[in-house]
A and B are shown apart, each in its own frame.
Chain A
Amino acid sequence: MRGPGRSARRPSALSHGALLLGLMGLGGVVSGMQARARTLNRLDPVTMAGQGLLAPVAILGGVVHDGLAGAGAGLLYGAALRDENARLRALANAARLYDDRVALLDAELRERAEGRTAVRAVGRAPLTARIVGYAAAEGRVTLDQGTANGVRPGLAIVSGGGLLGTVQTAARNRATGLYVASPNLRLGVMDVSRRPPALGLLQGGGAGEAVATFYDVRTPVEVGDRVVTSGFGELVPRGLLVGRVVAVETDDRYGVVRALVLPEASLGASRTVEVVR
């Protein structure tokens, strides 16, 4: 049955073989071109043309593939992904809260270290006390230390690097302190940015500020000066930083200079303070 066909196909088999050889020869030429271009770190024109021809199909196929894969993943894993998302959100919130907490504790530790350093710098022993109550409007704090540990009215209270106030009343295990900006607090201070230091009297002005009055109209107080405790009393030592001058007013009528002082320590910034015994 195939006899006549076979005799007729013989020349065609030869031509087919020639075609195969021709194509392979062409492939070899392209191969050499590719190899040469690659040696020169270039892309040969045939490869560029081939990739240009195939790129539209590949890009379209990739888009379709990604879309189908996304849709399939959404169908298969949608519920699990939603739960996972909620869990990750909760974790992120917890981490954020944790970070805030760590930052707060870091600040407290730093303030406490600064407070102890400031107390030791003036030659006194610090007693760490925890603030257990605030009366912000009155500028008053309640401490968890009292006379049992040597706390008595008039002692200085330090927070961070500066004077927070003084002890107002003391019971056995409790004490109240007045903030340095409280109108009821009066304290001897000096401007140590001047030589010689200028002596004055500090009185709280409320609203988180205090006024230092210097009883010499020629006192050269300037904005930015450091104001510290004068230490002329028995209880508050000399040299505790009170704050910095933010405004100066000369009152010729009364012959005084009034300086507005921004306290270094702020009420409510810390939960622990140092009582200067």
Chain B
Amino acid sequence: MRLRTLLLLALSALLVGLDWAWEARHPRLGADLPVLMATVAGLLLPRPLATLVGWSAGFLHGLAAAQNAGFHAATGAVAAFALSSWERPAREVTPAVGAAVAAAAALVVGLGRNLVFPSASVGADLLATAASVVANAVLAAPLVLLGRRVGVDSNR
């Protein structure tokens, strides 16, 4: 396994750990970091690496929250796999594109989650989804910028 892969997995663990700490304090206002990681990885990394990072981010998130790790891992892996199949040089992905795609992914996940697990507090769910969309967009931009700086190029 290449050093870059290890570093990316470590970054996933770091972000998921922060996500865990954040969600413990603001359960309804968190950025969906596994989705964010899968999105950024899918945009910037070669497909196998992106799939691995998306899977591990979702998997760790599931473990941290003692939820269904397999389900989260599959979600992350599929998202990263699908995005990395969108063939383009990673250097063409601007922070704005990364932010937009991460926001869209957060929106899809948030709305999908509310459809699958409907709750009585629809207003609060929508607010949480909106907050997640904004947070994902804000966090995706610097991550994409960082990925471009370190020379990641999927070279598909």
Chain A residues packing against B (C-beta within 8 Å): 2, 5, 9, 12-13, 15-16, 19-20, 23-24, 26-32, 34-35, 43, 46-47, 49-51, 53-62, 65-66, 69
Given A23-B55, A61-B17, verify A51-B70 contact (CB < 8 Å): no
From B59, B64, B66, B77, A20 is in contact (CB under 8 Å) with: B77
The dominant DSSP class at the B interface is: helix
Chain B residues packing against A (C-beta within 8 Å): 13-14, 16-18, 20-22, 24-25, 47-48, 51-52, 55, 59-60, 63-64, 66, 68-71, 73-74, 77-78, 81, 87, 156
Chain A residue with minimal CB distance to B17?
A57
Flag if B51 contacts A23 (CB, 8 Å).
Answer: yes
From A12, A16, A51, A57, B63 is in contact (CB under 8 Å) with: A51
Flag if B59 contacts A27 (CB, 8 Å).
Answer: yes
Flag if A19 contacts B21 (CB, 8 Å).
Answer: no
Interchain Cβ contacts under 8 Å between A and B, 8 examples: A9-B156, A27-B55, A32-B70, A46-B63, A50-B59, A54-B63, A61-B18, A65-B25
From A30, A55, A60, B69 is in contact (CB under 8 Å) with: A30
Chain A residue with minimal CB distance to B21?
A61
From B51, B55, B66, A47 is in contact (CB under 8 Å) with: B66
For the complex, what is the distance from the CA of A139 to the CA of B54, rounded to whole Å? 92
Q: Within the complex, what minimum Cβ distance (angstroms) separates B139 from chain A?
A: 14
* Contact partners of B64 in chain A: CB under 8 A: 50-51, 54, 58
Flag if A62 contacts B24 (CB, 8 Å).
Answer: yes
A57-B16, A61-B18 provided; 15 other pairs, C-beta below 8 A?
A2-B87, A19-B48, A20-B77, A23-B52, A24-B77, A24-B78, A32-B70, A43-B66, A54-B16, A54-B17, A58-B64, A59-B21, A62-B24, A66-B25, A69-B25
For the complex, what is the distance from the CA of A175 to the CA of B16, rounded to whole Å? 86
* Contact partners of A50 in chain B: CB under 8 A: 59-60, 63-64, 69
Flag if A27 contacts B17 (CB, 8 Å).
Answer: no
For the complex, what is the distance from the CA of A32 to the CA of B71, rounded to whole Å? 11
Flag if B81 contacts A28 (CB, 8 Å).
Answer: no
From B21, B68, B78, B87, A34 is in contact (CB under 8 Å) with: B68
* Contact partners of A27 in chain B: CB under 8 A: 55, 59, 69-71, 73-74, 77
Given A57-B17, A62-B21, verify A34-B69 contact (CB < 8 Å): yes
